[in-house]
Structure 1
Amino acid sequence: MFATCVDDVRTTVACRLLIVSDILLYREGVARALEQAGGFVVAGTRDGRVAALAPGALASGEPYDVVLLDVSRPDALALAATLRAHAPGVPVVGFGVGGGESEALACIEAGLVGFVGREATIEELAATVRRAVAGEVRCSPRLVARLCERVATLSHAHPPANDAPLTQREGQVAELIAQGLSNKEIALALGIGPATVKNHVHNILEKLHVARRGAIGVRL
């Protein structure tokens, strides 16, 4: 059961959190601060680098209601998409997001249901988590306008009917990208050269009609 809290309305059920970040200090600091804020129980913390290599581990262990993801880590949005695939129905909230609109749109495209910037306070993060659990997302009017433009653009986009499917190798590369691996790590895993991986990534982006690596996991 989720702990819903919007503004000053609180329930007696604590919201169980999983915190994912590469930096131990961030994980411990955010965990302690949110527990002190009240209404939250940290069910676990994970190193984002380990989670990217073994995302299934995030879906095991003690159950949790919300994942807090450090979005400042490389390929964090790809990890968010992979996490949603392994733990469907669990909302993902990002922290450490850059201040630009493009970063906010990228978070939304990756499936985050809430996010706060690098200058946000613990109180703002707690409020964002509570709103996300309640099914609400707080956006600026300008960002809402950009989202409307994006939806309108997508609704008028008609990819060619004869799009070529991913080859077996491209599918392998795409799966590893969705797990957050870099081109160098993919090359080592598949025994191919980095330049070959780069070519595969270019073909995958074209075939899936996406512009960012972080969106590949969403389209698989």
Structure 2
Amino acid sequence: MKQPFRVIIVDDHDHAREAIREIVGSYENFVIVGEATNGEEAIFLTEELMPDIILMDINMPHMDGLSATKIIKTKYPYIKVIIVTVSDEVTNLFEAIKKGAQGYLLKNINPTAWYEYLQAIADDEIPMSEELAFKLLQEFTSQKEKQMTKNPLSKREQEVLELVAKGHTNKQISVDLSISEHTVKNHLKNIMHKLHLENRVQITRYAYEKGWVE
């Protein structure tokens, strides 16, 4: 049997941690291995427990979640960090992405939606919602000028990138392009290697920023 994904919860509010604990604790393939109340504790626990996923609040005393995320991702890039917050401010969203976060969950969304999202994160298939893709588009088309950079991607990689930027999953991309999911994953690895990126959110951000996707 496959080992469950190990999760750390980071939030300075007892009720928030309890609510997250109840949601995530009900999933068989996820196990909560630790809880922290601020960014400093999160870094310490990460080094001690080496989790697979960290559910990170933003606003906390001593050290906020974004600062902790940057430190953790610098030291342990393979650990997935999901920002969990009540705020959907674009500023927070983009700061989280810049610090290396793989995902962004709102505390007030339906708890039943958490499992699908967490599983996608755990499977290295970070879901990109239409709302997030729209915010990304708004953010980068509002810039005065787009920096045009020579595209190092192959034609097929460009096709995959465009579908990722539209929020398609690996399965959807494999159907659209008539290729296997394994091939899609390989193309994504090549894209991230060529562009020096880490995840789908950063791929989408980069694509719009460089003007490769309209």
Shift of 1:93: 0.4
Q: Distance in 1 between matches of 2:117 and 2:140?
A: 22
Residue 145 of structure 1 is matched in structure 2 by 137
User: CA distance change for structure 1 residues 109 and 50 in 2, over 3 Å: closer, same or farther?
Assistant: closer
- For residues 115 and 96 of structure 2, what CA distance do their matches in structure 1 show? 18
* Per-residue deviation, 1:26: 2.0
- What TM-score, normalized to structure 1? 0.55
Query: Structure 1 residue 106: deviation in Å?
Result: 2.1
- Corresponding residue SS for 2:6: strand
Matched position secondary structure for 2:26: helix
Q: State whether residues 97 and 103 of structure 1, in contact with CA within 8 Å, keep that contact through their aligned partners in structure 2.
A: no
1:202 corresponding residue in structure 2: none
1: distance between equivalents of 2:57 and 2:80? 14
SS in 2 for 1:95: strand
Query: Do 1:98 and 1:117's aligned partners in 2 also have CA atoms closer than 8 Å?
Result: yes
2:34 touches 2:45 (CA, 8 Å); kept in 1?
Answer: no
Letter of the 2:41 partner, please give it.
A
Letter in 2 for 1:124: A
Which fold has the larger relative contact order, with Cα–Cα distance below 8 Å and residues 6 or more apart in sequence?
1
Are residue 77 (structure 1) and residue 66 (structure 2) matched?
Answer: yes
Q: Distance in 2 between matches of 1:34 and 1:48?
A: 19
1:9-50 per-position Cα deviation (integer Å, ceiling 9, x unaligned): xx8431110111112332233123211133210111112154
What is the rounded CA distance, in whole Å, between the counterparts of 1:86 and 1:35 in structure 2? 27
Name the CA shift for 1:60/1:45 in 2 (closer, same or farther; >3 Å): same
Q: Which is greater in Rg?
A: 1
Whole-angstrom distance in 1 between the partners of 2:147 and 2:65: 27
For structure 2, the 5+ residue unaligned runs are 150-214
Partner of residue 131, structure 1? 120
Q: Secondary structure at the match of 1:138?
A: coil
Q: Once the 2 structures are TM-superposed, how far is the Cα of residue 147 of structure 1 from its aligned partner?
A: 6.0
- Distance in structure 1 (CA, Å) of the matches to 2:80 and 2:86: 17
Return the alpha-carbon distance in structure 1 between the equivalents of residues 45 and 24 of structure 2.
20
**What is the TM-score with the length of structure 2 in the denominator?**
0.56
Contact preservation (8 Å) 2:9, 2:17: yes
CA distance in 2, matches of 1:152, 1:65: 39
1:122-171 alpha-carbon deviations (Å, 9 max, x no partner): 222332222222222323231242465489968469xxxxxxxxxxxxxx
- Kindly report the root-mean-square deviation, in angstroms, between the aligned alpha carbons of the 2 structures: 3.0
> Secondary structure at the residue paired with 1:105?
helix
Using the alignment, how far apart are the partners of 2:97 and 2:142 within structure 1? 11
Partners in 1 of 2:30 and 2:12 — Cα distance? 21
Count of residues in Structure 1 that have an aligned counterpart in Structure 2: 144
Distance 1:107 1:150 in 2: 19
Matches within 5 A, 1:96-115: 96-115=85-104
Shift in CA distance, 149/112, structure 1 to aligned 2, threshold 3 Å: farther
SS at match of 1:45: strand
Q: Does the 8 Å contact 1:59/1:86 carry over to 2? A: no
Distance 1:112 1:150 in 2: 23
5+ residue gaps, structure 1: 1-10, 158-220
Is residue 57 of structure 2 the alignment partner of residue 67 of structure 1? no
- 4+ runs of 1 displaced by more than 4 Å? 147-157
